[in-house]
């Protein structure tokens, strides 16, 4: 069986949904963060697939940028979570509601 | 409608060159400058306040003499120098000065009395906390009054007319902590608004009929075509008279003037005796040409037939004069007697205009300004000496204790009564009586004579009770003469009360109004007896009768014998014909009803429905939206994803 664009897109959608479910349902910040990464990479996969099947390199270039930025974002995000944990002794979202009025 | 405000200075252009009549602008600006300087910068410094206030008005007085000799005496016509102010649609309004025989005389009256009253006030108001406020208001009043005198068109005059009403409000309510003063100020302001409304309607009517509000152009237009105002000509006259009715306190709008005596006495002298209340008469004289148009009434008023606006004015003036003179006979407050006397004399002047003698009215206005200011300042001196006692029955015997005040007061009384040959009042009153005979109003002539006799009666009563006999209270017993700043204005004012009799002021004014059309009467001390013996004899007889009656009734009287002999009528007179009570019963319920409706609309519709409605809806929405802010990250994410999904759904 030959893999078509739709196969890739289905995988991408599955990955994205999985990530979104993680973000919405899990309570631990680190797991939510992993869910976010999953969503990001689902988008990367879709971009690369479009790029490959449309014979246009723009999508792959975009993905390089995304990966670079994501690397930086992960380091900043993890640092924030560590700092938050040190200050509040928790990484659970239910305990972090101080944005409320 | 196109509204263009032109830059006044820029439009003068290169054609401008200095002319003597431009002094008028300086006269107008000096008191305004003094008032602003005091109100904004100098109110902490008494010396500078006095320097600016008194200096401004004295300078204006001296400059007024220049204008009087340049334009008044020579009869030279000033070149109008109007600055365009604005034009809206077909209405062109200029800021211009009318400098002629009429306004220059009035300028002298206003600035002269103003200057003396300010000198006097330096002593009278010395211990008052509102010293600077008083002088700022007084200067502002002088500015507004000079504006009325100098305006050369109806719109500009109306603006200053309102400013005068405003400064009068400030000064009547000067002691605003006293409820009576605050109420009197409001009463004066509101009563004047009624008259001013008619005045405004009159101005609008004049403009819509002729397209012009300039005095000289209107006069020329009416001279060329006396029917220019069509069927409205008499209505226009009456509407303009409404303004005069408010300011000059004519029946039925006379009720504010006696209450205005709540203000400080110098204010009563300046505003409510000599100048502001004369503004109404001045307006009638300035716009006299309007009344000379053909008598015509619109269909709804056709029943008035050949009765002209002037006839109605004459009757209202005569009626006010009679009414006020009657009331004055039974008043016991020294200032109220003078207030009703002022009302009565204003009615006299209005009657003079009504019978067709604006020259006589202006003559009486000028002489009256002098001796009535003298009488009020004299009353102020008496009140000052008696520690603010105003009831004449608690005075008595003041003649020996206040010699200067007494002598000048007697001169003022003689002038007001019209004592023959020596006083200015005799000649001006005679001019009014002559005018009413000449123009065929025998009933008004009789009324005039009757009022002259009543005037003498109540003034002689006042002098006998307050100054002669023995002291009837401790404050009168310990009275002593007021300081020199208060007595010398009295002496200065006593001079024109006598001296104006020797000046040919009457002929001067007749010439101004009627030119060479009327033969000028011969002057001289005995002039009145030669050219109109009837009026002069009756006038003199009235004075002798009034004085005799007063002396017979009050000489050595310990209390007023009239309440016993007149019983019911005395009570009616003492209560001023119950006008205040009648107005209260008639108009207060209507006014209260209207106010209640307005209040209801304001409270429930305006603030309730509109203001609170908008505010309430916003707040409710805010409260509802606040529920969404849980602070939970995942709720936000869920809503965010939901929102994105919704947008995508709509977009697809």
In CATH, A5-99 is 1.10.287.3510: yes
Q: What is the pLDDT of residue A42?
A: 95
Cβ–Cβ of A100/B631 closer than 8 Å?
yes
Residues B110-117 have a mean pLDDT of: 90
Does the distance separating the beta carbons of B626 and A97 come in below 8 Å?
no
Element of type H or E holding B87: strand B83-88
Question: Are the CB atoms for B382 and B279 separated by under 8 Å?
Answer: no
Comparing CB atoms, the residue among B629, B634, B641 nearest residue A93 is: B634
More confident residue, B7 or B167: B167
Which residue is closest to A36 within chain B, CA to CA?
A: B637
At B618 the pLDDT is 92
- Residues of B with CB below 8 A from A24's CB? 634, 637-638, 641
**What would the pLDDT profile of B123-159 be if each residue is shown by its tens digit?**
888 888 888 888 999 999 999 999 999 888 889 999 9
Summarize the confidence of residues B282-310 as an average pLDDT.
82
For residue B10, the model assigns a pLDDT of 41
Strands B91-95 and B3-5, sheet pairing? unpaired
How far is B194 from B243, CA to CA, in rounded Å? 8
For tokens 């300081």, name the residue: B483
CA–CA min distance A56, chain B (Å): 25
Helix or strand run (H / E) with residue A22: helix A5-25
Q: Can you tell me the distance from the alpha carbon of B359 to that of B439, in angstroms, rounded to the nearest whole number?
A: 13
Least confident of A74-78, B126-130, B275-279, B408-412: B126-130
The model's pLDDT over B498-511, given as tens digits with 9 standing for 90+, comes to 877 777 777 778 77
Select from A24, A25, A99 the Cβ nearest to the Cβ of B631.
A99
- Nearest Cα residue to A43 out of A11, A76, A4, A7: A11
pLDDT given for residue A100 in this prediction: 67
Query: Contact, A42 vs A16, CB < 8 A?
Result: yes
Query: Range with the lowest mean pLDDT among B299-308, B336-345, B461-470, B491-500?
Result: B299-308
8 Å CB contact of A101 and B626: yes
Percent with pLDDT over 90 in chain A = 66
DSSP H or E segment with residue B228? none
Residues on chain A bordering chain B, Cβ-to-Cβ distance under 8 angstroms: 20, 23-25, 32, 93-94, 96-101
Q: For residue B516, what pLDDT is reported?
A: 55
Shortest Cα distance from B2 to chain A (angstroms)? Answer: 54
For chain A, the C-alpha Rg in angstroms (whole number) is: 17
Contact pairs from chain A to chain B, CB under 8 Å: 27
d(CA B102, CA B124) in angstroms, rounded, equals 32
- Name the residue among B129, B134, B127 with its Cα closest to residue B54: B134
* Exposure string over B234-250, b if 16+ CB within 10 A, otherwise e: bbbbbbbbbbbbbbbbb
Predicted confidence (pLDDT) at residue B269 exceeds the cutoff of 60 = yes
A26, A32 contact by CB (below 8 A): yes
Q: φ and ψ at B369, to 5 degrees? A: -55, -45
Q: Which of B156-165, B257-266, B371-380 has the lowest mean pLDDT?
A: B257-266
How close is the nearest chain A Cα to the Cα of B643, in Å?
14
pLDDT of residue B17: 56
Which pTM does this prediction carry? 0.77
CB contact under 8 A, A101 and B629: yes
Residue A67 has a pLDDT of 93
The answer to whether residue B631 neighbours chain A at the CB level (below 8 Å) is: yes
Which residues from chain B sit within 8 angstroms of residue A101, using beta carbons? 626, 629
The reported pLDDT for the residue numbered B563 is 75
Place of tokens 């400058």: B33
Residues in B touching A96 (Cβ below 8 Å):
631, 633
With a cut of 70, say whether residue B80 has pLDDT above it.
no
Upstream peptide bond of B527 is cis (omega within 30 degrees of 0): no
Q: Is B292 exposed, middle or buried (0-12, 13-18, 19+ CB in 10 A)?
A: middle
Query: What are the extents of the domains in chain A?
Result: 5-99
For residues B135 and B122, give the distance between their C-alpha atoms in angstroms, rounded to a whole number.
9
Interval B413-444: pLDDT, tens: 999 988 887 788 888 888 888 888 888 888 88
Distance CA B295, CA B213 (A): 21
Q: In the predicted model, what is the mean pLDDT of residues B270-295? A: 85
How high is the pLDDT of residue B42? 80
- Other Cβ atoms closer than 10 A to B544: 14
Q: How confident is the model at residue B6 (pLDDT cuts 50, 70, 90)?
A: very low
B472-477: average pLDDT = 78
Any idea of the CA torsion for B98, B103, B104, B106, to the nearest 10 degrees?
Answer: -150
How far away is chain A from the Cα of B641, in angstroms, using its nearest Cα? 9
| Residue B202: predicted pLDDT | 92
Average pLDDT over residues B553-563: 77
B631:A98 CB<8 A: yes
Spatial separation of the C-alpha atoms in residues B606 and B599, rounded to whole Å: 10
pLDDT band at residue B58, thresholds of 50, 70 and 90? very high
Give the phi and the psi of residue B532 in degrees, each rounded to 5.
Answer: -145, 70
pLDDT beyond 50 at B5: no
Q: Smallest Cα–Cα separation from B357: which of B369, B366, B349? A: B349
Query: What are the contacts of B175-181 at 24+ separation with CB within 8 A?
Result: B175/B262, B175/B263, B175/B264, B178/B262, B180/B259, B180/B262, B181/B262, B181/B263
Assess whether pLDDT exceeds 90 at residue B607. Answer: no
Q: Is the CB of residue B255 less than 8 Å from the CB of residue B580?
A: yes
DSSP B333: B
Q: Which has the closest alpha carbon to B271: B256, B260, B255?
A: B260
Residues of B in contact with A98 (CB under 8 A): 631
Quote the pLDDT of residue B636: 86
Percent above pLDDT 90 for chain B = 18
Burial degree of B194 (CB within 10 A; 0-12, 13-18, 19+): middle
Residue B577 has pLDDT above 80, yes or no: no
For residues B424 and B501, is the Cβ–Cβ distance under 8 A? yes
H or E stretch at B85: strand B83-88
Determine the Cα–Cα distance for residues B552 and B460; give it in Å rounded to an integer: 11
B151: left (phi over 0), alpha (psi -120 to 50) or beta: beta
| Distance separating alpha carbons of residues B431 and A63, to the nearest angstrom | 110
As for the ipTM of the complex, it is 0.84
- What confidence category does residue B1 fall into, taking pLDDT thresholds of 50, 70 and 90? very low
Q: Could you say which of B626, B629, B632 has the minimum Cβ distance to residue A93? A: B632
Q: Do B631 and A23 touch (CB under 8 A)?
A: no
What's residue A48's pLDDT?
A: 94
Is residue B637 less than 8 Å (CB to CB) from chain A?
yes
Instruction: Say yes or no for a CB contact (<8 Å) between B629 and A23.
Output: no
Chain centroid to Cα A12, Å, comes to 12
Give yes or no for B638 touching A (CB within 8 A).
Answer: yes
Helical residues (DSSP H) of B330-387, grouped into ranges: 334-354, 358-385
Task: Provide, as residue numbers in chain A, all residues whose Cβ is less than 8 Å from the Cβ of B629.
Answer: 99-101
Torsion of CA B245, B250, B253, B254, to 10 degrees: 140
Q: How many CB atoms lie within 10 A of CB B329?
A: 21
Tell me what pLDDT residue B122 has.
87
**Nearest CA-CA partner of B497 in B405, B417, B411:** B411
- Give the per-residue pLDDT at B9: 42
- What pLDDT is recorded for position B194? 87
CB spacing of B634 vs A23 below 8 angstroms: yes
Give the residue with greater pLDDT, A37 vs B509: A37
Q: What is the pLDDT of residue B595?
A: 92
B520-551 tens-digit pLDDT: 555 556 666 767 777 888 888 888 888 888 88
List CB contacts of B364: < 8 A, sequence separation 6 or more: B345, B348, B349, B352, B428, B429, B431, B432
Residues 6+ away with beta carbon under 8 Å from B115: B54, B57, B58, B61
Cβ within 8 Å of A, B 611-630: 626, 629-630
* Element of type H or E holding A2: none
């Amino acid at each position: 069986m030959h893999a078509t664009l739709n196969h890739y897109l289905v995988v991408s959608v599955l990955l994205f949904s999985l990530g979104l479910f993680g973000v919405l349902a899990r309570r631990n910040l680190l797991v939510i963060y992993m869910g976010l990464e999953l969503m990001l990479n689902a988008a990367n996969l879709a971009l690369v697939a479009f790029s490959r099947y449309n014979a246009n390199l723009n999508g792959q270039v975009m993905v390089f940028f995304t990966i670079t930025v994501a690397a930086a974002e992960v380091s900043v995000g993890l640092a924030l979570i560590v700092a938050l944990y040190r200050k509040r002794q928790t990484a659970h979202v239910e305990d972090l509601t101080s944005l409320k009025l | 409608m196109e509204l263009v405000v032109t830059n006044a200075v820029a439009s003068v252009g290169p054609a401008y060159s200095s002319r003597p009549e431009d002094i008028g602008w300086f006269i107008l600006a000096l008191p305004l400058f003094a008032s602003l300087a005091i109100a904004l910068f100098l109110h902490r410094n008494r010396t500078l306040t006095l320097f600016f206030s008194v200096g401004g008005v004295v300078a204006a007085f001296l400059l007024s003499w220049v204008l009087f000799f340049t334009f008044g005496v020579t009869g030279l016509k000033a070149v109008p120098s109007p600055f365009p102010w604005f034009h809206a649609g077909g209405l062109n309004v200029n800021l211009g000065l009318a400098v002629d025989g009429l306004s220059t005389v009035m300028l002298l009256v206003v600035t002269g009395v103003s200057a003396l009253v300010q000198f006097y006030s330096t002593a009278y108001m010395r211990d008052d906390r509102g010293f600077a406020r008083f002088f700022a208001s007084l200067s502002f009043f002088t500015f507004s009054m000079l504006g009325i005198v100098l305006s050369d068109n109806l719109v500009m005059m109306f603006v200053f007319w309102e400013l005068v009403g405003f400064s009068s409000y400030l000064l009547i309510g000067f002691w605003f902590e006293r409820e009576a003063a605050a109420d009197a100020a409001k009463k004066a302001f509101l009563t004047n608004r009624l008259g001013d409304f008619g005045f405004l309607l009159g101005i609008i009517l004049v403009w819509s009929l002729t397209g012009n509000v300039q005095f000289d152009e209107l006069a020329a237009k009416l001279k060329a075509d006396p029917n220019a105002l069509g069927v409205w000509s008499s209505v226009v006259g009456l509407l303009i008279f409404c303004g005069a009715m408010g300011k000059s306190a004519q029946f039925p709008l006379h009720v504010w003037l006696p209450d205005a005596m709540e203000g400080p006495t110098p204010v009563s002298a300046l505003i409510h005796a000599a100048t502001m209340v004369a503004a109404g008469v001045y307006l009638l004289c300035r716009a006299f040409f309007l009344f000379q148009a053909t008598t015509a009434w619109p269909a709804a008023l056709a029943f008035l037939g050949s009765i002209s606006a002037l006839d109605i004015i004459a009757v209202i003036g005569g009626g006010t004069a009679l009414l006020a003179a009657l009331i004055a006979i039974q008043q016991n407050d020294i200032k109220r007697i003078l207030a009703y006397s002022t009302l009565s004399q204003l009615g006299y002047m209005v009657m003079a205009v009504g019978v067709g003698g604006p020259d006589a009215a202006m003559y009486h206005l000028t002489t009256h300004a002098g001796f009535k200011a003298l009488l009020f300042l004299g009353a102020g001196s008496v009140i000052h000496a008696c520690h603010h006692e105003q009831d004449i029955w608690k005075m008595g015997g003041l003649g020996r204790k206040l010699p200067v005040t007494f002598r000048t007061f007697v001169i003022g009384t003689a002038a007001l009564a019209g004592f023959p040959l020596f006083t200015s009042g005799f000649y001006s009153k005679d001019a009014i009586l002559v005018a009413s005979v000449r123009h065929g109003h025998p009933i008004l002539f009789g009324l005039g004579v009757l009022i002259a006799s009543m005037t003498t009666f109540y003034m002689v009563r006042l002098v006998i009770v307050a100054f002669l006999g023995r002291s009837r209270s401790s404050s009168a017993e310990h009275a002593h003469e007021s300081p020199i700043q208060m007595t010398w204005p009295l002496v200065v004012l006593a001079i024109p009360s006598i001296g104006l009799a020797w000046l040919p002021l009457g002929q001067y004014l007749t010439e101004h109004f009627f030119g060479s059309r009327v033969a000028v009467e011969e002057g001289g001390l005995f002039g009145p007896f030669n050219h109109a013996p009837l009026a002069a004899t009756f006038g003199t007889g009235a004075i002798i009768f009034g004085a005799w009656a007063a002396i017979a009734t009050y000489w050595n009287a310990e209390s007023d014998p009239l309440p016993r002999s007149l019983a019911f009528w005395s009570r009616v007179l003492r209560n001023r014909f119950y006008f205040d009570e009648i107005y209260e019963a008639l108009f207060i319920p209507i006014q209260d009803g209207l106010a209640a409706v307005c209040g209801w609309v304001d409270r429930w519709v305006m603030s309730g429905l509109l203001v609170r409605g908008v505010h309430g809806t916003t707040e409710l929405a805010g409260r509802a939206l606040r529920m969404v802010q849980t602070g939970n990250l995942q709720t936000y994410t869920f809503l965010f994803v939901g929102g994105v999904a919704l947008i995508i759904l709509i977009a697809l």
